[in-house]
């Protein structure tokens, strides 16, 4: 480096004769990255995974632009709808409360079987004349029946299956404790399906009689013009007439428990899940690189101290502390809770990368080419940028790829115990947790988000395998 | 350390080694043998572990949901009873268990009427009360239940050292409040054992509903010598409790198993038909409970969620319902710096709130009823039901009118847009669902920006107490069967009035309801309170909670009630099918 | 060896102290406190409760008192179950979690080794493809979905046969342990299968195997002594972290199958902000894991003579 001073003579500036090369490279030189890419391309599974990851990125970023449905918009008329064809509804008058029908309660018949026991009503008394007061719609089903002599009230049941042959009456939709009230209006979660309504009379003690009467009711899907306008399905309530049919918004993947579009929620949920899944690893890998390379470079007492601290953090029980940190940071009103989760993840997960990078740095530092580079006068920054980082990049990239699925799992787990992102922010984890409760009746609410989680995790795992094979010669062969 | 993933291995690509060579065949056989050995070893390990763990000693072989021969019913609990010390108990699961193993002076019978318990007869006056205890009442160790046991329990409950959350329920006793503040010794409590069987109570002020208070769980007796002998561990385990009710706890494996067996020393043991009430499952997971029922392992599934109803119908199970007595509403923050202190904004919120839509389309559980008032429909009034004597003022949802009020509110507040409104909610799935519904509803109708603040129970309470909310989803369950259990909630001094609602007229009415002994005057006061709350939009009622449950048809006579231990299996019986 | 062990143990103790301190700080920075209660209508009662738990003292003093008690092995009294000591809670519930965890780890290790060896033998043929597909499924489906589905499957199975073959939930007998431990061990088993497969593939044609074959050793001996034994080594290395993952991952299984383990208690305690139980369980779990890892490292040193412990 230090050039000793000596005199140049003219002979020093003569052109050197061109020598014929003794060796030629017949193939173009292949850089490390080109070689890695070539090997990755040969790995069919990794390549497919790469395409899946790209597709997921497209789904996440471009999806909401193509499928412009608000993921927060609630369609309470189509709650928990399975994937299927678009629904049609008839425009009707707005709902008006109904006073119901009243009748004079009849006294118990003298000498009936129950009269002796003092119950006042035969134990097998069944109401008669159960009828629809007006056509049944999804707005309301209005029923009336004839009073039962001696009854003190009525119990109303509704089933979505035939009550026969075993007399399974279904859900107790109402208990009427006024014997004069001989009608009932059902508004509970009505869908355009057949219902079996049953009425049972109550005796003087409020106990149900054994007899019952059942009516099969077909409901039709309706909506009032005003409602349709509020929901933004039609532009002007005045433009449609009673009896017109309108097509309800179409939900290709069905809706969730509040009637929100699943497809749209999956897209926005992907934003949250993949954001956490990608950004958190990026952040803690960066922290790990800085920390680890600092420890590796400085070495000595500082290295010891830094790595001892990293050991402590590694020893913290991960999930327990995720929960603790999550609560400690808190989620303010209206916040999604993504940020506290990121912070908690970074706080707990950096040491693994730090250890790895430090090991790499220590190893590379001893390599001959580093010594050669130093001899040629390379500065530390140059060493780091030119040699250290590119040579550790492969290992880091592999770590990064494997960190994504584990972070996605962590997010899902936290959602499962109710400590995930705050509503109404969707994430795949919180969606599958909600879907788990409705697993039996509305499986699509669980299946779609669970499939997305599984495919993503799988793709990143296989891609990680492929990258490891392609990038890290020393780690090749392990599947 | 060899932590790095075996980096020393060479990448030797093994050719497609023919698996038909002798080595592979042998290897296959060896793997099969090893697999058998591993399975056997695994089973042996399981046996060893289950032998080693203490749990096996308490576990009984499953007898199914209902066993006619032994008179056993098997059920599940939603959580481990956190606290079986009657002086400190606050939750319903503990209250249910304790209601089966303890008996107060009075109790609720199967028709939810007050019935004599340990007390044979009583006399309630304006200045005090006297209870005469039955001679035959016994503790589970055979000792008689005496008036001293009640006095000791009550003194312990108001003792500041106990720090009971329910100490206030004794404030009708002379000196109780002063003792609880630490100003008087616990012996000064206005309750005294005249003899072993006669109990004399002195009131601080006249109280019209004292008989209903006496049935409350904090009024259960505790025997002094036993309590002191447990050395601070009273009620921590099954052996650390003494029972005077129809059952006693024979097994209490924390978090896993509670078993109640008939108390042979109970004075009214002939009335008890069941021998064993077994709770070998503790799970809050509704699906797990349904699976257990489907499997014939438990006799009752409580609190069906809307999502499981279709499955229940498909299984053709008998579904029943009752109201659990709690009322749910928006607490509103009336502090001046919050926009909700503006009457017109509150009015707008009230007018767009549609409890019918909430109950029918969002909650979707039959048994829930749209809320109209702070006072639930089941409350008894003077002669009949309170709500029939004093109907709540009706509020019909009216979006157009609500928007007018909103404009007015904006003018009064001097803003173009109402600032974001914070909606405080629990972290239960149900609360999140409702909060999300309201967020969308208020955005759609009034264009309000609602920020949901979902917090775990303790943090939600802390935030509510500090007034860090505009609206809060809130529920209140009754402590005793009198409208006052709801009526004083929004008195300006009540610490559960988190929104600091202050209304002089309401305060005056609460005083009347507390101090008068004339039921007509008191009910009129409650009627006025109900009107004020709605007219002034102090709160916005959402719903009264109902409970859907499945019960094995062979099990009869289970008491369901809004006040007191629920469900009550103590008087249940089994019918053979 | 002895010096190494002592050194690791001292480090372990310091680590536990660090865990305790971190938990203490995290917990006390949570807004709200375990004493808030809906029926708490009186400031005096609150003050009484605070005095009872020592919450009225400065935070640092609370910390010192707590650390003092902890070194004496006393974790204090629970806030929600006011007559119950945290030591009792751990003593009663940890054995449950441990039983579940041990079974899951053993299942995962045995299953992983056997499946891994099997797939390696059948490389790229049908059994390999089928098993690896299942393994990949095991890795990529969230544990709560697996737990929920398996419980549902169990009920359907019982309904199909008309008798209760295996209990659907609960704890106490041998039969209760089977499904939860299998579900808990599934993910780890899948991971170990992959690992075992690749390490087996490397060894199948390794030099020393070829040597052994050419020497004419009996195939049984080659397989057991040369192939399986060497292939298992990397599996044992990851067992330490696997134990950690399984014991804490027990939360989900304990919640779904109604098992009274410590994990479920921890989740409840966090929701109730029960300071003493949170501290107790975290410190206990942390200590358990730290010493488990040390143990695995030491054992590995015994098994693999190539690893030198210094």
Measured CA to CA, the distance from residue A354 to residue A291 in angstroms comes to: 6
* Alpha helices (H) along A62-101: 63-66
Handedness of CA C155, C156, C159, C160 (dihedral sign): negative
In this prediction, residue A110 carries a pLDDT of: 54
More confident residue, B406 or A442: B406
CATH number at residue A58: 1.10.3720.10
Domain identity same for A100 and A63 = no
Mean pLDDT of A390-414: 83
User: Got the DSSP string for C55-109?
Assistant: TTS-HHHHHHHHHHHHHTT---B-SSSTT-BHHHHHHHHHHHHHHHHHHHHHHHH
Nearest alpha-carbon partner for A471 in A416, A402, A393, A377? A393
Average pLDDT of the segment spanning A245-255: 84
Q: What's the domain range around A405?
A: 47-71+259-478
Helix (H, G, I), strand (E, B) or coil at A348: helix
Q: Looking at the predicted structure, is the pLDDT value of residue A117 above 50?
A: no
Residues B392 and B535 in one domain: yes
What tokens does A287 get?
A: 């922290």
Q: Looking at B223, B242, B261, which one is the last position of a domain?
A: B242
Per-residue pLDDT tens digits for B346-394: 999 999 999 988 999 888 888 899 999 999 988 888 888 899 899 999 8
Percentage, residues of chain A above pLDDT 70: 93
Kindly report the CATH number assigned to the domain that includes residue B149.
3.90.76.10
Average confidence (pLDDT) over C167-175: 74
Asked if C38 and B461 touch (Cβ cutoff 8 Å), the reply is yes
The answer to whether A242 and A92 are in contact (CB under 8 A) is yes
Q: What residues make up the domain containing B166?
A: 103-242
What are the phi and psi torsion angles at A5 (to 5°)?
-75, 125
Tell me: do A126 and A199 sit in the same domain: yes
Under the banding of pLDDT at 50, 70 and 90, the label for residue B151 is very high
Taking residues A230-237, report their average pLDDT. 74
Q: Which residue(s) pair with A200 in the sheet?
A: A155
Instruction: Give the Å distances, CA to CA, from B500 to A456, B459, B495.
Output: 50, 19, 8
Check residue A238 and report its DSSP letter.
Answer: G
Of the ranges A84-88, B188-192, C145-149, C262-266, the best mean pLDDT one: B188-192
Confidence of residue B17 (pLDDT cuts 50, 70, 90): very low
CB contact under 8 A, A413 and C252: yes
Same domain, A339 and A204: no
A414 and A353 within one domain: yes
- The pLDDT score that the predictor gives to residue A425 is 83
Name the strands in the sheet holding B119-124, side by side, starting at the edge strand that comes first in the sequence. Answer: B119-124, B128-133, B198-202, B191-195
**Are A317 and C143 inside 8 Å of each other by CB?**
no
Q: In this predicted model, which residue has the larger pLDDT, B423 or C140?
A: B423
Mark whether A167 and A311 lie in a shared domain: no
CB < 8 Å from A in window 379-438 of B = 396, 399, 420, 422-424, 427-429, 432-433, 435-437
Residues A309 and A458 in one domain: yes
Residue of B nearest to A191 (CA): B361
Residue B383 shares a structural domain with residue B502? yes
What is the pLDDT confidence band of residue B514, given thresholds at 50, 70 and 90? confident
pLDDT attached to residue A472: 63
**Is residue A329 domain-resident?**
yes
Q: What is the mean pLDDT of residues C210-229?
A: 80
Q: Nearest CA to CA, how far is C247 from chain A (Å)?
A: 10
Q: Is the pLDDT of residue A384 over 50?
A: yes
DSSP characters over chain C: -HHHHHHHHHHHHHHHHHHHHHHHHHHHTSSS-TT--TT---HHHHHHHHHHHTTTS-HHHHHHHHHHHHHTT---B-SSSTT-BHHHHHHHHHHHHHHHHHHHHHHHHHHHHHHHHHHHHTTTSHHHHHHHHHHHHHHHS-HHHHHHHHHHHHHHHHHHHSS-SS-SS--SSHHHHHHHHHHHHHHHHHHHHHHHHHHHHHHHT-HHHHHHHHTT--HHHIIIIIIIHHHHHHHHHTHHHHHHHHHHHHHHHHHHTT---HHHHHHHHHHHT-HHHHHHHHHHHHHHHHHHHHHHHHHHHHH-TT----
Domain co-membership, B227 together with B352: no
Q: Which residue has the higher pLDDT, C114 or B63?
A: C114
pLDDT of residue B408: 92
Q: How many CB atoms lie within 10 A of CB B443?
A: 15
Chain A contact for C290 (CB, 8 A cutoff): yes
The answer to whether residues B421 and B518 belong to one domain is: yes
Q: Is A442 helix (H, G, I), strand (E, B) or coil?
A: coil
Q: Do C258 and B282 touch (CB under 8 A)?
A: yes
CATH superfamily of domain region C94-260: MetI-like (1.10.3720.10)
Last residue of a domain, one of B198, B224, B242: B242
In a domain, B572, yes or no: no
Rg (CA), chain B: 29
| Region A74-88 average pLDDT | 80
pLDDT of residue B54: 54
Which residues, 6 or more positions from A289, have their beta carbon under 8 angstroms from its beta carbon? A353, A354, A357, A392, A396
pLDDT score for B327: 93
Q: Which residues of C102-134 are buried (b: 16+ CB within 10 A; e: fewer)?
A: bbbbbbbbbbbbbbbbbbbbbbeeeebeebbee
Strand partners, A175: A155
By three-state DSSP, how is residue B481 classified? Answer: coil
Q: Which residue has the higher pLDDT, C237 or B72?
A: B72
* A26 burial level (CB within 10 Å; 0-12, 13-18, 19+): exposed
Reported as a single tens digit per residue, the pLDDT across B176-217 is: 989 988 889 999 999 999 999 999 999 988 888 888 889 899
Whether B528 has a pLDDT exceeding 90, the answer reads yes
Which pLDDT value is given to residue A118?
45
Q: What is the pLDDT of residue B254?
A: 82
Q: Look at residue A20 and tell me if it is in a domain.
A: no
Residue B22 pLDDT? 65
* pLDDT 10s digits, C232-272: 877 777 777 777 777 767 888 888 887 888 888 888 888 78
In a domain? residue B53? no
Here the tokens at position B101 are 């193993």
In a domain, B387, yes or no: yes
Lowest mean pLDDT among A319-323, B335-339, C107-111: A319-323
* Helix (H/G/I), strand (E/B), else coil: A277: helix
The C-alpha atoms of residue B341 and residue B364 are separated, in whole angstroms, by: 32
Q: Are A340 and A459 within one domain?
A: yes
Report whether B453 contacts A337 (CB < 8 A): no
Which of B206, B222, B242 is the C-terminal boundary of a domain? B242
Query: B462–C33: do the CB atoms touch at under 8 Å?
Result: yes
Same domain, B330 and B228: no
CA-atom Rg of chain C in angstroms: 24
List, for residues A137-158, the tens digit of each pLDDT value: 888 899 999 888 888 889 899 9
pLDDT-wise least confident of A124-133, A389-398, C143-152: A389-398
Q: Same structural domain for residues A150 and A294?
A: no
Closest chain C residue by Cα to residue A415: C144
- Can you tell me the mean pLDDT for B120-149? 92
Q: What is the pLDDT of residue B58?
A: 47
Q: State the DSSP code for B360.
A: I
CB contact (8 A) between residue C30 and residue B12: no
For the domain that residue A124 is a member of, what is the CATH number? 2.60.40.10
Residue B533 sits in a domain whose CATH number is 3.10.105.10
> What is the mean predicted confidence (pLDDT) over C101-121?
86
Number of domains in chain A: 2
Query: Six-digit token pair at B117?
Result: 């318990």
Check whether residue A202 and residue A297 sit in a common domain: no
List of chains touching B (3+ CB pairs within 8 A): A, C
Q: Convert the pLDDT of each residue in B212-261 to its tens digit.
A: 889 899 999 999 999 999 888 888 888 899 999 999 999 888 878 899 99
Q: Do B452 and A333 touch (CB under 8 A)?
A: yes
Angle at A199 between CA A196 and CA A204, to 5 degrees: 160
Best CA proximity match to C245, nearest among C182, C184, C183 = C184
Q: Are residues A302 and A337 in the same domain?
A: yes
Whether A283 is in a domain gets the answer yes
Q: How far, CA to CA in Å, does A71 sit from each of A266, B122, B187, B217, C31?
A: 9, 63, 63, 48, 32
Query: Does A76 fall in a domain?
Result: no
B537 φψ region: left (φ > 0), alpha (ψ -120 to 50), beta (else): left
Chains A and C form CB pairs within 8 A to the count of: 118
What 8-state DSSP symbol labels residue B532?
H
Place of tokens 């129950």: A114
Q: Which residue bears the tokens 């860090």? A: B468
Question: Which of A224, A250, A278 lies at the terminal end of a domain, its last residue?
Answer: A224
Structural domains counted in chain B: 2
- The distance of B572 to chain C (nearest Cα, Å) reads 25
As beta bridge partners, residue A88 has A247
Q: Among B20-24, B68-72, B297-301, B407-411, where is mean pLDDT lowest?
A: B20-24
Residue B504 is assigned to a structural domain of this protein: yes
Are B340 and B447 in a shared domain? Answer: yes
Residues of C in contact with B15 (CB under 8 A): 205
Categorize the per-residue pLDDT at A109 as very low, low, confident or very high, splitting at 50, 70 and 90.
low
**Domain shared by A210 and A358, yes or no:** no
Exposed/middle/buried for residue A107 (C-beta within 10 Å: 0-12, 13-18, 19+): exposed
Mean pLDDT of A179-183: 86
The chain-wide mean pLDDT, for chain B, equals: 86
Calculate mean pLDDT across residues C106-133. Answer: 84
- Residue C307's pLDDT band (boundaries 50, 70, 90)? low
Residue A442 and residue A262 in contact, taking contact as beta carbons nearer than 8 Å: no
Average pLDDT over residues A248-256: 84
Reported ipTM: the value is 0.81
């Amino acid at each position: 480096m230090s050039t000793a001073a000596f005199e140049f003579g003219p002979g020093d500036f003569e052109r050197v004769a061109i020598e014929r090369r003794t060796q030629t490279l017949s193939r173009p030189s292949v850089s490390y990255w080109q070689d890695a890419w070539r090997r990755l391309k040969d790995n069919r599974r990794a390549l497919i995974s790469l395409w899946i990851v790209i597709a997921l990125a497209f789904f996440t970023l471009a999806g909401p632009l193509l499928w412009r449905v608000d993921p927060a918009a609630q369609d309470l008329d189509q709650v928990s709808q399975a994937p299927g064809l678009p629904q049609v509804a008839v425009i009707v008058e707005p709902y008006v409360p109904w006073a119901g029908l009243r009748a004079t309660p009849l006294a118990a018949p003298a000498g009936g079987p129950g009269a002796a026991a003092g119950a006042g009503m035969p134990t097998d008394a069944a109401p008669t004349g159960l009828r629809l007061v007006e056509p049944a719609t999804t707005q309301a089903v209005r029923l009336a029946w004839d009073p039962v002599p001696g009854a003190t009230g009525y119990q109303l049941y509704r089933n979505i299956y035939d009550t026969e042959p075993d007399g399974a009456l279904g859900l107790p939709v109402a208990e009427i404790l006024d014997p004069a009230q001989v009608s009932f209006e059902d508004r509970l979660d009505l869908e355009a399906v057949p219902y079996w309504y049953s009425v049972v009379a109550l005796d003087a003690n409020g106990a149900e009689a054994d007899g019952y009467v059942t009516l099969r009711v077909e409901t039709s899907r309706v909506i009032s013009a005003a409602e349709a306008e509020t929901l933004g399905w039609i532009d002007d309530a005045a433009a449609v007439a009673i009896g017109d049919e309108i097509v309800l918004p179409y939900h290709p993947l069905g809706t969730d428990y509040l009637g929100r579009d699943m497809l749209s929620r999956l897209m926005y949920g992907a934003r949250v899940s993949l954001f956490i899944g990608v950004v958190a690893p990026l952040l803690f890998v960066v922290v790990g690189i800085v920390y680890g390379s600092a420890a590796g470079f400085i070495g000595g007492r500082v290295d010891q101290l830094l790595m001892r601290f990293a050991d402590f953090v590694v020893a913290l029980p991960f999930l327990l502390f995720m929960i603790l940190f999550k609560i400690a940071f808190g989620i303010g009103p209206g916040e999604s809770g993504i940020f506290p989760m990121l912070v908690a993840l970074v706080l707990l997960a950096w040491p693994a990368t730090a250890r790895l990078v430090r090991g790499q740095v220590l190893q590379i530092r001893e390599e001959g080419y580093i010594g050669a580079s130093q001899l040629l006068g390379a500065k530390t920054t140059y060493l780091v940028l030119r040699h250290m980082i590119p040579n550790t990049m492969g290992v880091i990239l592999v770590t990064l790829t494997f960190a994504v699925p584990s972070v996605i799992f962590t997010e899902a787990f936290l959602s499962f115990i109710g400590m995930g992102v705050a509503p109404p922010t969707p994430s795949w984890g919180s969606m599958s947790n909600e879907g788990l409760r409705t697993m039996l009746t509305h499986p699509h609410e669980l299946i779609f988000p669970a499939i997305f989680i599984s495919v993503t995790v799988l793709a990143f795992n296989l891609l990680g395998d492929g990258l490891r094979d392609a990038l890290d010669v020393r780690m090749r062969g392990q599947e | 350390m060899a932590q790095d993933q075996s980096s020393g291995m060479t990448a030797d690509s093994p050719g497609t080694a023919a698996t038909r060579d002798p080595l592979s065949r042998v290897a296959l056989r060896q793997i099969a043998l090893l697999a058998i050995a591993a399975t056997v070893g695994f089973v042996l390990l399981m046996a060893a572990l289950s032998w080693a763990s203490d749990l096996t000693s308490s576990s009984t072989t499953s007898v199914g949901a209902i066993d006619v021969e032994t008179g056993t019913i098997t059920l599940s609990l939603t959580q481990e009873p956190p606290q079986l010390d009657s002086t400190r108990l606050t939750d319903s699961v503990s209250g249910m268990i304790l209601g089966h193993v303890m008996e107060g002076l009075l109790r609720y019978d199967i028709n939810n009427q007050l019935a004599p318990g340990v007390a044979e007869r009583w006399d309630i006056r304006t200045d005090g009360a006297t209870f005469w205890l039955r001679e035959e009442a016994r503790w589970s160790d055979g000792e008689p239940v005496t008036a001293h046991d009640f006095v000791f329990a009550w003194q312990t409950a108001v003792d500041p050292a106990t720090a009971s959350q329910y100490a206030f329920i004794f404030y009708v006793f002379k000196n109780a409040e002063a003792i609880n503040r630490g100003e008087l010794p616990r012996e000064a409590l206005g309750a005294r054992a005249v003899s072993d069987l006669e109990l004399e109570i002195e009131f601080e002020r006249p109280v019209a509903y004292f008989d209903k208070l006496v049935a409350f769980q904090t009024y259960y007796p505790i025997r002094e010598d036993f309590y002191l002998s447990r050395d601070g561990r009273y009620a921590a385990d099954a052996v650390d409790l003494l029972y005077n009710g129809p059952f006693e706890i024979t097994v209490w494996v924390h978090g896993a198993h509670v078993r109640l067996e008939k108390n042979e020393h109970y004075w009214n043991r002939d009335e008890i038909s069941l021998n064993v009430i077994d709770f070998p499952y503790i799970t809050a997971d509704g699906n797990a409970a349904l699976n257990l029922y489907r499997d014939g392992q438990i006799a009752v599934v409580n609190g069906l969620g809307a999502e499981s109803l279709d499955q229940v119908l498909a299984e053709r199970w008998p579904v029943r319902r009752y109201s659990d007595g709690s009322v749910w509403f928006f607490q509103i923050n009336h502090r001046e710096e919050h926009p909700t202190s503006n009457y017109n904004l509150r009015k707008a919120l009230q007018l767009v709130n549609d409890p019918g839509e909430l109950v029918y389309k969002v909650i979707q559980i039959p048994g829930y009823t749209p809320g109209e008032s702070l006072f639930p429909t089941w409350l008894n009034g003077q002669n009949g039901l309170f709500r029939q004597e004093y109907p709540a003022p009706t509020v019909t949802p009216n979006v157009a009118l609500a928007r007018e009020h909103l404009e007015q509110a904006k003018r009064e507040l001097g803003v173009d847009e109402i600032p974001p409104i914070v909606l405080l909610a629990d972290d239960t799935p149900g609360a999140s669902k409702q909060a999300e519904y309201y967020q969308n509803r208020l955005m759609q109708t009034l264009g309000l920006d609602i920020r949901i603040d979902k917090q775990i129970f303790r943090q939600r309470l802390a935030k509510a107490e500090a007034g860090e909310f505009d609206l809060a989803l809130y529920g209140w369950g009754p402590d005793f069967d009198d409208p006052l259990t709801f009526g004083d909630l929004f008195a300006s001094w009540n610490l559960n009035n988190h929104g600091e609602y202050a209304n002089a007229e309401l305060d005056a009415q609460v005083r009347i309801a507390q101090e008068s002994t004339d039921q007509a005057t008191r009910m009129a006061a409650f009627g006025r309170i109900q009107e004020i709350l709605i007219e002034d939009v102090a709160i916005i009622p959402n719903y009264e909670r109902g409970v859907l449950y499945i019960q094995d048809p062979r099990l009869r006579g289970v008491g369901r009630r809004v006040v007191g231990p629920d469900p009550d299996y103590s008087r249940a019986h089994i019918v053979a099918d | 060896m002895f010096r190494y062990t002592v050194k690791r143990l001292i480090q372990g103790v310091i680590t536990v102290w660090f865990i305790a301190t971190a938990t203490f700080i995290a917990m006390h920075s949570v807004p709200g406190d375990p004493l808030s209660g809906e029926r708490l209508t009186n400031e005096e009662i609150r003050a009484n409760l605070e005095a009872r738990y020592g919450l009225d003292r400065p935070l640092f003093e609370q910390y010192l008192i707590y650390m003092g008690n902890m070194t004496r092995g006393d974790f204090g009294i629970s806030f929600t179950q006011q007559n119950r000591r945290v030591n009792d809670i751990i003593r009663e519930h940890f054995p449950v979690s441990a039983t579940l965890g041990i079974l899951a780890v053993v299942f995962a290790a045995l299953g992983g080794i056997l499946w891994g060896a099997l797939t390696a033998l059948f490389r790229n043929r049908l059994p390999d493809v089928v098993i690896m597909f299942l393994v990949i499924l095991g890795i990529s489906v969230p544990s709560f979905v697996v737990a929920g589905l398996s419980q549902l499957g169990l009920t359907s199975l019982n309904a199909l046969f008309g008798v209760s073959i295996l209990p659907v939930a609960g704890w106490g007998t041998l039969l209760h342990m089977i499904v939860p431990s299998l579900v808990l061990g599934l993910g780890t088993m899948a991971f170990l299968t992959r690992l075992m497969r690749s390490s087996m593939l490397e060894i199948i044609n390794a030099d020393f195997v070829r040597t052994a074959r050419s020497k004419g050793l009996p195939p049984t001996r080659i397989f057991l002594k040369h192939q399986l034994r060497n292939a298992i080594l990397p599996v044992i290395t990851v067992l330490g972290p696997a134990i950690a993952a399984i014991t804490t991952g027990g939360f989900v299984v304990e919640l779904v199958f109604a098992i009274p383990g410590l994990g479920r208690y921890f989740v409840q305690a966090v929701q109730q902000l029960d300071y003493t139980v949170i501290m107790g369980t975290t410190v206990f779990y942390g200590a358990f894991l730290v010493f488990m890892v040390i143990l695995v490292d030491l054992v590995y040193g015994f098994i693999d003579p190539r690893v030198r412990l210094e």
